[in-house]
Amino acid sequence: MAHTSERVPPDFQGTYSYFPSLSKPVIAAINGHAVGLGLVIALYCDIRFASTEAKLSTAFARRGLIAEFGTAWMLPRLIGLSNALDLLLSARTVGAAEALRMGLVNRVFPVDTFVEDVRAYARELATQVSPRSMAAIKQLVYRAMFQTLEEACFKYLRRTGVSSVSAEKPRFAALLLPLVLRAALASPAWYP
Mean of the pLDDT values across residues 90-114?
A: 97
What is the structure's pLDDT at 135? 85
Q: What is the pLDDT of residue 97?
A: 97
All structural domains of the chain: 10-127 (3.90.226.10), 147-185 (no CATH)
C-alpha 8/C-alpha 21 separation (Å) is 6
Mean pLDDT for the chain? 79
Instruction: Please report which confidence band the pLDDT of residue 158 belongs to, taking 50, 70 and 90 as the band edges.
Output: low
C-alpha to C-alpha distance for 179 and 154, rounded to whole angstroms = 13
Mean pLDDT of 111-124: 96
With bands split at pLDDT 50, 70 and 90, how would you rate the model's confidence at 160? low
DSSP code string of 2-38 = ---TTTS-GGGGSTTT-GGGSSS--EEEESSEEETHH
Q: Is the pLDDT of residue 98 over 70?
A: yes
Q: How many CB atoms lie within 10 A of CB 151?
A: 12
Task: Please say whether the beta carbons of 27 and 118 come within 8 A.
Answer: yes
Yes or no: say if 140 and 156 are a contact pair by the CB < 8 Å rule. Answer: yes
- In the predicted model, is pLDDT for residue 163 greater than 60? no
Using CB atoms within 10 A of its CB, is residue 156 exposed (0-12), middle (13-18) or buried (19+)? middle
Contacts of 187 (CB under 8 A, 6+ apart): none
If pLDDT is split at 50, 70 and 90, which confidence band does 57 have? Answer: very high
pLDDT value at position 2? 44
Give the mean pLDDT of 5-34: 74
Q: Which of 116, 91, 103, 85 is nearest to 42 (CA)?
A: 103
